[in-house]
């Protein structure tokens, strides 16, 4: 069976789902392919726009401040490319970049309002969100279950609560790091405690994963059981707030938070965590729900493997599933296949390559990455302030987000790219991942729709 659509989106992470939802909401027939899981589902579920410049120790206090610095200092960054359109006057480049990112982030926040992953925060300030390590990280929006704003009150007392048999969160270590960090930045010490609670999701007592705990809390009277253990611990410490790992539920997290708060009398919030990530999964499911609601067709387990071209136009994409192969013809295509986790890029002894169209790949400094082995771009120390240069590799695009070849000319006039497949930025050191994916998905689909309307994309 072959299919046809106006817009084909390859990849269902943040970038592809933003692009696909916008086009299907506007009545454009849209098919979205997802071969497997995305980095979006592994993320902490908080939307970073711009936290740091590489090697900087101080975070940006607002996304706008970060984007203004990017526009001035990182001309190859995907955010900077937003400002290169011919219609943008030189003196309005920064306004264009900040305005586009702001519009994309507002669209995302509004769209997710009535889903299982509603967001709080605004483009006017970065939030200093607490992580499972007891550290903080700058981010733009967090899920409502992570709201810890009132923790800023000087008389608040914080209890870190972990779970027996759950190895991904150590409340003692988190409490210690939290206090040490406060002292290091000159804040007064604060009363902090820790406790360990017991749950047996589906009868299991050890080696628990966050997903198992979250599923357990979505059912029956498990929140009431949790509250019975938590309340005496919170009362003993005089806690005003309880920080727990991100396990509050997959489908009912916000309701669970409210019930737990009602039963314990303290504010409960989720910390930003590590994969496997319950909030990341919530975000992924919420975005997929939005896309379907808008009338889009999501083909899960479908992998784009090759293509046909008709002159300079991409004509069709060949797709495979374990049981069948098909051809999808589209008038415009968005490539949002992510990096190494999503599978948009792959690296071996021959170099780093783009996996569907074999497009040119470059390093963060725009040197060819097609014939350089990935190990040349990795540091021995896994977590360094400057991160791993391999994360900055990807595709180079024109001002309309169309991948270009060695000669600087677009590979095809109807192929657009968005998200982490783009080169020139490092989400892990900058704290910009889902912000770049949202903004470029938002812009790339508008360019694709302009193309469909016959606008001349010079
Ligand atoms: C552990 C971890 C934690 C992170 N935490 C944060 C965070 O807290 N905040 C933040 O802002 N960012 C975070 N990031 C970064 C962020 O997750 C990514 O930058 C972002 O999700 C990239 O989105 P994307 O849509 O470009 O790609 P992805 O989310 O990776 O999506 C790619 C999609 O393409 C599909 N695909 C690939 N190839 C094909 C093919 N041939 N055919 C069909 N489908 C295909 C994949 O199955 C997937 O659906 C984190 C990243 C990681 C790895």
Residue ranges of alpha helices (H) inside 161-296 are: 171-184, 210-217, 222-237, 253-264, 278-293
> What's the 266 CA to ligand 1 centre distance in angstroms?
35
pLDDT at 453: 97
Q: Where are the beta strands (DSSP E) in 324-391?
A: 325-335, 345-348, 351-354, 361-362
- Please tell me if the CB atom of residue 362 comes closer than 6 angstroms to any atom of ligand 1: no
- Please tell me if the CB atom of residue 307 comes closer than 6 angstroms to any atom of ligand 1: no
Q: Are 420 and 426 in contact (CB under 8 A)?
A: no
Do 3-59+282-452 and 132-272 show the same overall fold? no
CATH 3.30.70 for domain 132-272, yes or no, is no
Task: Reduce the DSSP state of residue 66 to 3 states and report it.
Answer: helix
> What's the 165 CA to ligand 1 centre distance in angstroms?
29
Cβ count near 196 (within 10 Å): 17
Q: Are 370 and 451 in contact (CB under 8 A)?
A: no
Handedness of CA 212, 214, 219, 224 (dihedral sign): positive
pLDDT at 373: 86
Residue ranges of alpha helices (H) inside 275-400 are: 278-293
Task: Report residue 282 CA to chain centroid gap.
Answer: 12
pLDDT at 307: 98
Tokens describing residue 33: 């392919």
pLDDT at 152: 83
pLDDT at 378: 84
pLDDT at 377: 83
Residue nearest (by alpha carbon) to ligand 1 atom 15: 433
Cβ count near 113 (within 10 Å): 10
CATH superfamily of 3-59+282-452: FAD/NAD(P)-binding domain (3.50.50.60)
pLDDT at 267: 97
- Please tell me if the CB atom of residue 337 comes closer than 6 angstroms to any atom of ligand 1: yes
d(CA 407, CA 410): 9
- Please tell me if the CB atom of residue 303 comes closer than 6 angstroms to any atom of ligand 1: yes
pLDDT at 190: 85
Q: Are 16 and 336 in contact (CB under 8 A)?
A: yes
Verdict on whether the full-model pTM lies above 0.95: yes
- Please tell me if the CB atom of residue 356 comes closer than 6 angstroms to any atom of ligand 1: yes
The closest alpha carbon to 64, from 76, 82, 49, belongs to 49
Task: Reduce the DSSP state of residue 342 to 3 states and report it.
Answer: coil
Residues 6+ apart with CB under 8 A from 384: none
Atom of ligand 1 nearest to the CA of 37: 47
- Show me where the domains of the chain are located: 3-59+282-452, 132-272
Consecutive H or E run containing 311: none
> What's the 238 CA to ligand 1 centre distance in angstroms?
41
The closest alpha carbon to 182, from 234, 227, 134, 239, belongs to 134
pLDDT, averaged per 10 consecutive residues of the chain (458 residues), comes to 95 98 98 97 98 88 97 95 88 95 98 98 96 96 95 90 97 97 86 96 93 95 97 97 98 98 98 96 98 97 97 97 94 98 94 97 90 84 77 96 95 98 95 98 98 91
Q: Are 16 and 342 in contact (CB under 8 A)?
A: no
d(CA 266, CA 161): 13
d(CA 286, CA 103): 19
Tokens 């797709």: give the residue: 319
Consecutive H or E run containing 447: helix 433-452
């Amino acid at each position: 069976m072959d299919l046809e659509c106006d817009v084909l989106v390859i990849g269902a992470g943040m970038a592809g789902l933003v692009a696909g939802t916008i086009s299907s909401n506007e009545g454009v027939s849209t098919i979205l392919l997802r071969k497997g899981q995305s980095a979006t589902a592994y993320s902490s579920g908080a939307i970073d726009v711009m936290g740091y410049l590489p090697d900087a120790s101080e975070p940006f206090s607002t996304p706008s401040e970060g984007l203004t610095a990017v526009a001035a200092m990182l001309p190859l960054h995907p955010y900077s490319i937003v400002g290169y359109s011919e219609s943008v006057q030189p003196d309005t480049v920064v306004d264009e970049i900040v305005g586009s990112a702001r519009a994309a982030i507002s669209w995302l926040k509004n769209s997710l309002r009535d889903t299982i992953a509603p967001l709080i925060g605004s483009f006017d300030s970065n939030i200093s969100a607490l992580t499972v390590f007891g550290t903080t990280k700058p981010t733009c929006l967090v899920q409502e279950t992570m709201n810890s704003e009132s923790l800023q009150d000087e008389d608040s007392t914080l209890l870190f609560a972990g779970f027996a048999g759950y190895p991904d969160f150590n409340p003692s270590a988190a409490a210690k790091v939290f206090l040490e960090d406060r002292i290091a930045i000159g804040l007064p010490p604060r009363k902090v405690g820790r406790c360990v609670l017991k749950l047996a999701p589906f009868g299991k007592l050890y080696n628990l994963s966050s997903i198992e705990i979250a599923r357990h809390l979505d059912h029956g009277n498990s929140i009431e059981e949790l509250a019975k253990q938590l309340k005496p611990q919170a009362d003993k410490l005089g806690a005003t707030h309880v920080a727990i790992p991100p396990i509050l539920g997959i489908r009912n997290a916000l309701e669970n938070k409210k019930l737990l708060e009602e039963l314990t009398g303290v504010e409960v919030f989720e910390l930003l965590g590590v994969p496997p990530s319950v909030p990341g999964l919530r975000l992924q499911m919420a975005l997929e729900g939005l896309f379907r609601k808008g009338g889009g067709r999501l083909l899960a387990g479908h992998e784009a493997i090759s293509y046909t071209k008709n002159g300079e136009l991409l004509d069709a994409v060949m797709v495979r599933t374990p049981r069948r192969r098909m051809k999808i013809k589209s008038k415009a295509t968005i490539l949002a296949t992510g990096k190494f986790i999503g599978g948009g890029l792959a690296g071996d002894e021959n170099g780093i390559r783009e996996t569907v169209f074999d497009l040119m790949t470059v390093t963060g400094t725009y040197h060819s990455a097609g014939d350089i082995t990935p190990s040349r771009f990795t540091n021995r120390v896994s977590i360094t302030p400057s991160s791993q240069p391999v994360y900055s590799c990807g595709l180079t695009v024109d001002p309309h987000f169309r991948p270009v070849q060695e000669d600087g000319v677009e590979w095809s006039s109807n192929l657009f790219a968005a998200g982490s497949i783009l080169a020139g930025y490092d989400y892990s050191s900058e704290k910009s991942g889902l912000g770049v994916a949202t903004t470029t998905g938002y812009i790339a689909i508008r360019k694709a729709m302009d193309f469909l309307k016959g606008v001349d994309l010079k």
